[in-house]
Amino acid sequence: MKTLLLALFILSFTSLFANENKVCQKCHPLIYKEYYNSIHRKSSLPNDAIYKALYDKEHNATTQQQCSSCHSPSAKTAQDAKEAPISCVYCHTIKDIKEHDTANKNILSDKKRDFFSAESSKRNEAKVTYETTSSFFGLIKRAKNSPYHQIEYNNENYYTGNVCMGCHSHVNNAHDFDIIMLDAYIDKKDKDTCISCHMPQVMGSKTTLRDTKTHAYHGIAGVHNMSESLGKYVDISLAKRKDGFTVTLKNQANHALFGQAYREGVLLVSIERDGKTKELKPFLFRRTFGKNGKASMPFEANEVIKDTLIYAKKSIDYNAKLQKGDRVTVTLGYRLISKEAAKTLNLQNSDTLTQIKVLKTESF
Ligand code: HEC
Ligand code: HEC
Ligand code: HEC
Ligand code: HEC
Ligand code: HEC
């Protein structure tokens, strides 16, 4: 009887919702809520003004289709484009990544209700299905796993972070020039992965059917959410010189920082002396794309005119002399888009895009 009810329950919500994410929400409400506020739900034309601004400048339909293959691969309808452009099922059915010159491609398994996931204690288990066990002569019933779907825990891509690389590795423009250039490189020896840094375990159960203390954060810790939690992956140090001082930033991520074309990293330094604070000129981390020696839109670019991004390590010299008792405060932050880019894209009225957000502050 119980199984029958469960079967009916499941049947009813599969047919009720056109959008399958809503089915997942029933048993994974916390993860759904985080996802809903994540960049992976906001990556589509109706949800991201920056993306739309660039997409609209592109007039070739084939190229526009390529954009959608990463920005809204699950959007079959206008409703999906708003609600689930990169859906739960999409990410959890990425079987493998095929490498290509222009951009990589996700290979999906076409099995229904069979999802990949990672949990180190079950790393070798495939086809994990729903089970019920009873003890005390049938008085206590316990259920394990999901009644809705099977889980495959043995896909390496979900442990190494390679599952992210179908979309995040590179996007080459018509001149074979990579315009997202995270320069990410996955090494099995890495202590942290795309997933451990950007989807850290946070409090709350991963499903309502079983109590777990934590779950993987689906809001994506990054430049939009939980940014300050990423600060710990950049070490800031300061060394005095005779004629000034040097700030060194050491990057523990396996990719360049602030690599997105319109992003701008900012280093703010101030010196507190005798109760007064003096701000030094901010240092900007960015990459300027160009064509024939002049700055250009990323999609037309065939060269990099200037690159001050943080790769493994970066030192910046200041020629302000320090005195005994000085307190130097260093803040590493970023703007989602630089003020120049905001003008080019006609987005200068959107203050939140050009406001400085903080990754880390330290005093010396
Ligand atoms: C009827 C409830 C139910 C529905 C509906 C449901 N799930 Fe689950 N799901 C579970 C349960 C229970 C688990 C097992 C958790 C455990 O025991 O670790 C689970 C586990 C998972 C896991 C693996 C968790 C791990 O341990 O790493 C993934 C991934 C997942 N679900 C994705 C989805 C997606 C995507 C959808 C929507 C298409 C969905 N689920 C719909 C109940 C459900
Ligand atoms: C291979 C996958 C892929 C393709 C194809 C692709 N993008 Fe992207 N795009 C991404 C990823 C991943 C990011 C996020 C990069 C980051 O934040 O560093 C991104 C970010 C962007 C951003 C910045 C958005 C923001 O809010 O900051 C814009 C704009 C953009 N893409 C436009 C386009 C356009 C227009 C096309 C098609 C001409 C396109 N992209 C094709 C994967 C892709
Ligand atoms: C951008 C890709 C992506 C999207 C979109 C996505 N997931 Fe996940 N999900 C992952 C990865 C990767 C993991 C493995 C995390 C880990 O190693 O702890 C995961 C883990 C999980 C887990 C197990 C949590 C845990 O702590 O082990 C569940 C349950 C889950 N996802 C459900 C969902 C649901 C429901 C949605 C939609 C609301 C969704 N996912 C959307 C990539 C994604
Ligand atoms: C289907 C393609 C796709 C997959 C798979 C994917 N992403 Fe993304 N991701 C995007 C796109 C597109 C954007 C940019 C969206 C925008 O700004 O409009 C993005 C943006 C991001 C950002 C930058 C935005 C921010 O708020 O910091 C981070 C970080 C990120 N993704 C992490 C991940 C991780 C980690 C994984 C693997 C678990 C992953 N992504 C898998 C397409 C994808
Ligand atoms: C050791 C932690 C760490 C690891 C591992 C890591 N990241 Fe990051 N990531 C960061 C930090 C810190 C930032 C914030 C600075 C920035 O915006 O670049 C960031 C930013 C990003 C952004 C936004 C970049 C921008 O400016 O728009 C994307 C996209 C991203 N990471 C994707 C990935 C992917 C994909 C992987 C796996 C190949 C990965 N990250 C691995 C720490 C990490």
User: 117 CA distance to ligand 3 centroid (A)?
Assistant: 7
Which atom of ligand 4 is least distant from the CA of 163? 37
pLDDT of residue 271: 97
Question: What span, in angstroms and rounded, lies between the C-alpha atoms of 21 and 74?
Answer: 11
Mean pLDDT of 208-225: 95
Going by C-beta distance under 8 Å and a sequence separation of 6 or more, which residues neighbour residue 289?
177, 179, 261, 295, 296, 297, 298, 301, 303, 304, 305
CB atoms within 10 A of CB 210: 13
Question: What span, in angstroms and rounded, lies between the C-alpha atoms of 238 and 222?
Answer: 25
Take atom 16 of ligand 1 and give the residue whose Cα is closest. 145
| Ligand 5 first shell, C-beta below 6 A | 161, 164, 168, 182, 184, 186, 192-194, 197-198, 222-223, 230, 233-234, 252-255, 257-260, 263, 334
For the record, the structure tokens of 50 come out as 């920056």
For the record, the structure tokens of 311 come out as 């790769």
Residue type, 315: S
Give the model confidence (pLDDT) of 163-213 as tens digits. 999 999 988 888 888 887 677 888 888 889 999 999 999 999 999 998 999
pLDDT of residue 9: 52
Pocket mutation for ligand 5, best pick of 182, 284, 313 (most atoms within 8 Å of C-beta): 182
Question: What span, in angstroms and rounded, lies between the C-alpha atoms of 262 and 52?
Answer: 14
Q: Give, rounded to a whole angstrom, the gap between the first and last alpha carbons of the chain.
A: 67
Mean pLDDT of 149-168: 94
pLDDT of residue 29: 97
For the record, the structure tokens of 8 come out as 């009916």
Q: What is the overall mean pLDDT for the chain?
A: 90
Question: What span, in angstroms and rounded, lies between the C-alpha atoms of 334 and 269?
Answer: 14
Quick one: which of 215, 216, 224, 212 has its CA closest to 193? Answer: 216
Any ligand 3 atom below 6 A from CB of 215: yes
Calculate the CA dihedral of residues 215, 33, 197, 152 and round it to 10 degrees. 50
Q: Are 144 and 132 in contact (CB under 8 A)?
A: yes
Question: What span, in angstroms and rounded, lies between the C-alpha atoms of 257 and 234?
Answer: 10
Give the model confidence (pLDDT) of 223-281 as tens digits. 999 999 999 999 999 999 999 999 999 999 999 999 888 899 999 999 999 999 999 99
Classify burial at 320, counting beta carbons within 10 Å of its beta carbon; exposed 0-12, middle 13-18, buried 19 or more. middle
Residue type, 1: M
CB atoms within 10 A of CB 69: 13
Mean pLDDT of 278-298: 92
